[in-house]
Structure 1
Amino acid sequence: MEKGLEINAVEVKSEVSLKERLWIIIPVVLLIGLLITLGYNHYSEFTWNGFVAGFNQELLVFFLIGVFAQLVDGTLGMGYGATSTSFLLAYGVPPVVSSTAVHVSEMFTTGASALSHHRFGNINKKLVKHLLIPGVLGSITGAYLLADVINGDVIKPFIAVYMIILAVIIIKKALKKNIIKKKTKKLSVLAVFGGFMDSVGGGGWGPIVTSTLLGRGRNPRYTIGSVNAAEFAISFASGITFMLFGGIHGWQVIIGLILGGVISAPLAAFLVNKIKRKPMMIAVGILIILLSLKTLSKLL
């Protein structure tokens, strides 16, 4: 009898262990597959001289944007898209290029972030499952519209205004006190909207989804880790959509963001429970507002 129980326990443990490993295996396999696909389809666009020439001051700027944006996103559960897009637009990068670059780079940075949060035990798998499919559907729709239907130059001022709104949401959440825990209803609707706005605006998954969940009193550690984990699928879906319908532009921007984001992702996951969130949220919100106002001033 005892021997039978031991065998069952081993089988259950083995099954759980396999499921845990899948949380690591799937992102790794997808990222390796993506790297191979990108290399195969775009190797002709790269030359040695072009590669060497690409290592200049601009690449360093994009790298630093990637580092900062990922530190913000990994510790606050929001802000990668809003922060990086605001910086890129302020730097003069066109909307379609910035949005494509942000989402292609996020395919890697969110993968690194998801693995890091999993490593530090910050993920609520049930929450991830609720957010995953609706978020992916929303992001694909938004990416298709921006890549193949909407004129990027026309919506550039609207994106800047949208970024200001996101920044206000971030600051508002930071200033909110005595949050009473409430049951979050219509998670799928929240995920669809967050995924859609993230693709169209170049950011929004975190500020919309994370801030809403935190505003409902959910545990910050698991909310941030779970939303970041789900964001990998959202970014992957929108990134693939951008590639299919709009092509890939701005390799220097993409590479800079990827390198910066992947390097800083483990540090961000480690810091998620170490830093004071409110001051950082306020600072990030103010920064995004200033950058967006700068973008608007150039357009008006």
Structure 2
Amino acid sequence: MVTLILIAVAGLAGQLVDGGLGMGFGVTSTTILIMLAGLGPAQASAVVHTAELGTTLVSGISHWKFGNVDWRVVASIGIPGSIGAFAGATVLSNLSTEAAKPIMSLILAAIGINLVWRFSRGIVRRQVAERPHSKPFLGVLGLFGGFIDATGGGGWGPVTTSTLLSAGRSEPRRIVGTVNTAEFFVTSAATAGFVIGMWEDLVANLAAVIALLIGGVIAAPLAAWLVTRLNPILLGGIVGTLIVTLNLPVVLKALGVAASALVFVRIAVVVVGLALAFRGWKKSRENSRAAAEKEGASQSKDEVNPASAAASVSATR
């Protein structure tokens, strides 16, 4: 019973993060399932992906109805992503727990470092240049993202969404909607790989899947409220720091680093991570303030020159 409660807490925490950042359910949930609930890496990833079948399906349908999905990109990134996810699930299912744990922790730590670094820069409003990505680029990105997602228990969003957003070749809403829709196929492929590789373990952990879903459902409305109250840049930095703090020592321990040294590693990660999170929060406020001032100056200029404002409106029609 205590284990199921911890798993429900993992689902709740994962959904809070995902609701605030638009990514991170798998990474956060998997970390908590391994560190607190005592599940093995393969079991944790299987539970998370099975629970995500429902959430990614609903998410994809919602984005499709709101016109946020580019189906050509879904196919270009989703098919290779599914292949990578199935391969990753198969590899993880056939690894021993002792061998899999440091590998998964390394992947999770890398994702955490990526989150810390990404959010330390604050939100930078990019000029969108509508140019399609090449199919080979999307194929490699999908294959890599799918493999990382399955072997790391999550990571599809941090890998693919972050990369496509940084390229600035499409509207953010279209990127998020397209990647989330493709994630359903990636999750389905990963789950199929776990079903084939560890069916008995998955059946034995069916209660864990339900508990994770319950925690996520409970957190969904709270996450929607939280995103209006908490700065997502600060949340992203803190979550990334937590993920690195929990997973990096596991990797270093497997490499033979002394336990006493790991204490200092954790302290250093927390100090540096929180400092970078605070830096990102400050930069995001400065960026927002500068954007608001620029917009205000532009509006004032249009008021002074009505002809210019009229021309601008006509150009957008």
- CA distance in 1: counterparts of 2:224 and 2:64, whole angstroms: 9
Q: Give the counterpart letter for 1:240 in structure 2.
A: A
The aligned residue for residue 230 of structure 1 is 182
The aligned residue for residue 204 of structure 1 is 155
| Higher mean displacement: 195-204 or 58-67 | 58-67
The aligned residue for residue 275 of structure 2 is none
| Higher mean displacement: 156-165 or 263-272 | 263-272
Q: 1:123 aligns with which of 25, 48, 69?
A: 69
Contact 1:116 1:265 in 2 (8 A): no
Q: Which protein, 1 or 2, shows the higher relative CO under an 8 Å CA cutoff with sep ≥ 6?
A: 1
- CA distance in 1: counterparts of 2:230 and 2:61, whole angstroms: 20
The aligned residue for residue 113 of structure 2 is 168
Structure 2 CA distance for partners of 1:81 and 1:71, relative to 1, 3 Å: same
Q: 1:135 aligns with which of 81, 94, 100?
A: 81
Which stretches in structure 1 are left out of the alignment for 5+ residues? 1-55
The aligned residue for residue 145 of structure 2 is 194
| CA RMSD across the alignment | 2.8
C-alpha distance after superposition, 1:33-59 (max 9, x if no partner): xxxxxxxxxxxxxxxxxxxxxxx3332
Q: CA deviation at 1:270?
A: 8.9
Q: Give the counterpart letter for 1:167 in structure 2.
A: G
Structure 1 length normalisation: TM-score?
A: 0.71
| Higher mean displacement: 268-277 or 129-138 | 268-277
Taking the TM superposition and a 5 Å limit, the aligned residue runs for 1:1-300 are 56-91=1-36, 92-118=38-64, 121-147=67-93, 149-176=94-121, 177=124, 179=126, 181=128, 183=131, 184-185=133-134, 186-217=137-168, 218-247=170-199, 248=202, 249-265=204-220, 276-293=231-248, 295=250
**SS of corresponding position for 1:93:** coil
Contact 1:199 1:238 in 2 (8 A): yes
**SS of corresponding position for 2:178:** helix
Structure 2 CA distance for partners of 1:270 and 1:125, relative to 1, 3 Å: farther
Q: Give the counterpart letter for 1:88 in structure 2.
A: L
**Size of the alignment, in residue pairs?**
244
The aligned residue for residue 22 of structure 1 is none
Structure 2 CA distance for partners of 1:173 and 1:206, relative to 1, 3 Å: same
C-alpha distance after superposition, 1:106-165 (max 9, x if no partner): 112222333344455543444323322111111111111111x32232121121122111
Structure 2 CA distance for partners of 1:127 and 1:162, relative to 1, 3 Å: same
The aligned residue for residue 46 of structure 1 is none
Structure 2 CA distance for partners of 1:164 and 1:150, relative to 1, 3 Å: same
Q: CA deviation at 1:267?
A: 6.8
**SS of corresponding position for 2:189:** helix
Structure 2 CA distance for partners of 1:172 and 1:285, relative to 1, 3 Å: same
- CA distance in 1: counterparts of 2:188 and 2:220, whole angstroms: 17
C-alpha distance after superposition, 1:224-254 (max 9, x if no partner): 2221221111111110221122111422321
Structure 2 length normalisation: TM-score?
A: 0.67
C-alpha distance after superposition, 1:203-238 (max 9, x if no partner): 121111011011112433332222122111111111
Which entry has the higher C-alpha Rg, 1 or 2? 2
**SS of corresponding position for 2:211:** helix
